Structure 1
Amino acid sequence: MIESPKDTSSCAIRIEHVWTRFGEKLVHKDINLCLPQGQIMGLVGASGSGKTVLLREIIGLQTPTQGEVFVMGQSMKSTSASSGRRLRNNFGVLFQKGALFSVLDVFDNIAFPLRELGVRDEELIRHLVFMKLENVGLSPKDAWLKPADLSGGMTKRVALARALIVEPPLLLLDEPTSGLDPISSEDFVELLSSLHRDLRFTVVMVTHDLDILRDLCTLVAVLADHQLAAFGPLAKVLSSKHPFVEEFFHNRRAERVFQYQETTHG
């Protein structure tokens, strides 16, 4: 079992003794974790291991059966409804398939969070939307496209622009490169890395993408057997003897992807 850290002041996200059950089904068993501010954490696990459930608990869309989740020092369990909404305004969320509104064009999709927050200055909205389009490598003319007109890579970029429009300190991503071809996936990783260097947000990312874990994540958390089986920098996780870690990180393809970590740290 991985214990809670003694010093929690630097934790952007702190998970303390979280258990999650759905009826008789156990999902999480006594999970403890501190994600320091400014880090990029990849959350890994087999299908059904509770990765998305944990993400929903961090966002506050779901409450653990036991234990607490703290985001930026604030308990998601004891937060009032209004305080919870204000706290979630500091989150940027990118869902697996982008979750763009099909009836809205790109401009209005990106502007949506600002309007939900009550921003009425259309000139300001226009400035911020076009700035974010540029940040994610899209052109002004792309603003008037509908989601149906976008490639997979463009959809992810628009969804990222929408997630970042209020410049949140915390970004939560669910399989951000799922469905992308290798070139689009690599482009997205380079884009996110560049934005992270500039904005220094904290990232929680559910992923099974080995290249992302190698190239982007500063920390890796592995869920297996209902628990946090391994947590830390990739080199530390690679040294874990947990059966799922060995199966996921030491198969033939993974060995090729992580070869330089083994050479450097082995």
Structure 2
Amino acid sequence: MTDGEVIRMAHVWTRFGENLVHRDISLSLGRGQILGVVGASGCGKTVLMREMIGLQTPTQGQVWLLGESLAEADARRKQQLRNRCGVLFQGGALFSALSVFDNIAFPLRELKTLDEELIARLVCMKLAMVGLGETDALLMPAELSGGMVKRAALARALIMEPEVLFLDEPTSGLDPVLGEEFVGLLGQLHRELGFTVVMVTHDLDTLSDLCTCVAVLAGQQLVSYGTLDDAIACAHPFARDFFHGKRAQRILGRSD
């Protein structure tokens, strides 16, 4: 693994019983890049992301995260590596019984190394960073709009100052205006903080506006890995349907 690589996967195969999910997948992601992972529903996009962060072990092959082999790391070391990553789950996955403040503070409190005064300062900083105010911190998840849920979940994902940010369908459930605002926020934070991003998405606007590289999963394999132009040029039927439909042509400004 080279110094500039944040994630590397080599000849990864994934099986669940008789079901083959991934077939011989290899890729590497450099520091500061934004990777968009696309593919049909059920093709293993989220599973691939879980393998990158060490939450799931592939059936065969090797995965490196932040320069270290996950296969050689014990449970304690894997957790230390995960502490250098942030995750925004699909739908936000906020704890319904905790306020926004307590949701964001939760990862820091789990460390048991910071006092409450410092935790409060850090939470307020992250709230401001994602465009939420101190009054929003007192709300419960059920009182939040869809856009506010995403922002609160993003603040929680950023609270540990992650080097790598994993996002699972970050704009799902948002209307076009809120989705555009959220993509703009992600782009701004990426420019300011310089973290590496892996995101599972089906949103063409997000791919076009944010991603520096695109991975296309289809037929259990990685059929394209490179720039958005590489994905658009991919001859696989899924890629042709995804990147050359009428909506894609309108968003990407291309025509066949």
Q: TM-score range by the shorter chain?
A: over 0.9
C-alpha distance in structure 2 between counterparts of 1:21 and 1:236, whole Å: 28
Cα displacement (A) at 1:120: 3.3
C-alpha distance in structure 1 between counterparts of 2:160 and 2:117, whole Å: 15
1:23 paired residue number: 17
C-alpha distance in structure 1 between counterparts of 2:12 and 2:3, whole Å: 19
Q: How many residues align?
A: 256
Cα displacement (A) at 1:128: 0.5
SS at match of 1:140: coil
Cα displacement (A) at 1:230: 0.4
2:205 paired residue number: 211
Q: Is 1:245 the equivalent of 2:239?
A: yes
C-alpha root-mean-square deviation of aligned residues, in Å? 1.2
Q: Residues 17-56 of structure 1, C-alpha deviation per residue, up to 9 Å, x if partnerless?
A: 0000111111000000001110010000001111011011
Percentage of matched positions with identical amino acids: 63
C-alpha distance in structure 1 between counterparts of 2:81 and 2:112, whole Å: 16
Q: Is the 8 A contact 1:98 1:155 kept in 2?
A: yes
Where does structure 2 lack aligned partners over 5 or more consecutive residues? none
SS at match of 1:157: helix
Q: Is the 8 A contact 1:42 1:213 kept in 2?
A: yes
Cα displacement (A) at 1:239: 1.3
Q: Is 1:122 the equivalent of 2:112?
A: no
Q: Residues 81-107 of structure 1, C-alpha deviation per residue, up to 9 Å, x if partnerless?
A: 110111110110000011111111011
C-alpha distance in structure 1 between counterparts of 2:8 and 2:95, whole Å: 32
Which ranges of 4 or more aligned residues in structure 1 deviate by more than 4 Å? none
Q: Normalising by the residue count of structure 2, what TM-score does the alignment of the two structures yield?
A: 0.97
SS at match of 1:161: helix
Q: Residues 105-128 of structure 1, C-alpha deviation per residue, up to 9 Å, x if partnerless?
A: 011100001111113311111110
Q: Normalising by the residue count of structure 1, what TM-score does the alignment of the two structures yield?
A: 0.94
Cα displacement (A) at 1:11: 1.2
Q: Is the 8 A contact 1:8 1:14 kept in 2?
A: no
Cα displacement (A) at 1:8: 3.2
Where does 1:154-233 land on structure 2 (aligned, <5 Å)?
A: 154-233=148-227
2:249 paired residue number: 255
Q: Residues 187-229 of structure 1, C-alpha deviation per residue, up to 9 Å, x if partnerless?
A: 1000000000000000000000010001111110000111110
C-alpha distance in structure 2 between counterparts of 1:96 and 1:138, whole Å: 20
Correspondent of 1:110 among 78, 86, 104: 104
Equivalent position amino acid for 1:149 in 2 = E
C-alpha distance in structure 2 between counterparts of 1:169 and 1:229, whole Å: 27
C-alpha distance in structure 1 between counterparts of 2:26 and 2:98, whole Å: 40
